[in-house]
Amino acid sequence: MTYKEIVEKVKKEFGKADVSNYEDHLALQINITGEGEGSFYTEINEGKLIIEPYDYNDNNATLTASADDIIKIFGGKLDMNEAAESGKLEIAGDYAKALSIQPVIEGLKKPARKTAAKKTTTKKAAEKETTAKKKTATKKTAEKAEAKTVTKAVKETAKKTTAAKTTAAKSTRTAKKG
């Protein structure tokens, strides 16, 4: 990956970050090591995020890492503190100030979670609706079967009653003749 591609990827990933609630000024110089070596800066100032392919000499801190790790950090896939502790990221200057960007990076993840939650909720709602429809269909089928059974029982009772009446009438007629 070239230097230009790395800067563009960070701009694309991190450039969507909401910095409107970031109340301080932050300037970080990012030094890329290895493939795509070079420097760029990111600055948060007055609720605006700037990412440019230049050195920023009057910065609060300098972050140095490989292109892959820089992309992971600014894409929210690698925590800055963990990267620093594991040696993947070197932070020079105001360490605490540099880490103050982490909540901004974390904010990039939230919309994705909401979308996933919405999809899950929608999926669950659809499953509930399908289950409710199945229950309703099953209930209607059971009601129809019960109605057929009741109708059949009524018809059988009516036949028996008719047969009993016929037998009783024959018995009465035989008794009158005799």
Dump pLDDT digits (tens) for 45-61.
999 999 999 887 889 99
The C-alpha atoms of residue 3 and residue 43 are separated, in whole angstroms, by 19
pTM of the model: 0.60
Listed residue (171, 142, 149) closest to 157, CA to CA: 149
Average per-residue pLDDT in the chain?
79
Q: Which residues of the chain have pLDDT under 50?
A: 112-115
The C-alpha atoms of residue 14 and residue 17 are separated, in whole angstroms, by 6
**Strand pairing report for 90-93 and 26-33:** unpaired
pLDDT of residue 113: 46
Listed residue (124, 81, 139) closest to 105, CA to CA: 81
Note whether 15 and 52 are within 8 A (CB): no
CATH superfamily of 3-108: SCP2 sterol-binding domain (3.30.1050.10)
